[in-house]
Amino acid sequence: MGKISHNHSFVLLALLLQFNSCSSQTQPAAKTSSKNQVNMNNNEIPVSEEEWKKKLSPEQYYILREKGTERAFTGKFYLTMDEGVYKCAGCGTELFTSDMKFASHCGWPSFDKEIKGGKIKTHVDKSHGMIRTEIICAKCGGHLGHLFDDGPTETGLRYCVNSLSLEFVPEKN
């Protein structure tokens, strides 16, 4: 086994710190009502996986249907601060508005609340040796990201969302 160079050590440390700050939080305590919890297969629009594969890009399919995650700091909406509405890339349901978005510096778009009306459901995610709260689109069951209780605003929440699970519709001036 070879030696790890100083540069490689720095990169490994940076990756570990990023993963820890954005992924290893436990689920929010009692801020998510049990009525919003749902099984991913329990959605309002019956679309077969074959239909999803035709509708979505391979990357979107991986995120929305296979519960994947895009690499941190690479998503097209990570730094977007334009005014408008963020919709589910799977079914077009409006999920967030730009005034709900904040700069979390964790590598993914972050929002402090969702559009009212039960458009986002939660699910306990015990994958990767962690306990987190997964957020999914209530209409199509698509995986959006995770919900953490470390947000800096009055809600105390951080909806950490994959850009590939979203579509952005800019506000018309």
Residues that are catalytic: 160
Q: Dihedral of CA 57/62/63/65: which sign? A: positive
Question: Can you tell me which residue has the tokens 């049990």?
Answer: 34
The first and second tokens of residue 44, run together, are: 């309002």
Rounded distance between C-alpha atoms, residue 170 and residue 103, angstroms: 18
Going by their DSSP bridges, the two strands 110-111 and 166-170 should be labelled as: unpaired
Q: Any idea which residue has 């077009």 for tokens?
A: 92
CB-CB contact of 97 with 86 (8 Å): yes
Does residue 15 come out as left (phi exceeding 0), alpha (psi in the -120 to 50 range) or beta?
A: alpha
Residue 87 tokens read as 């919709």
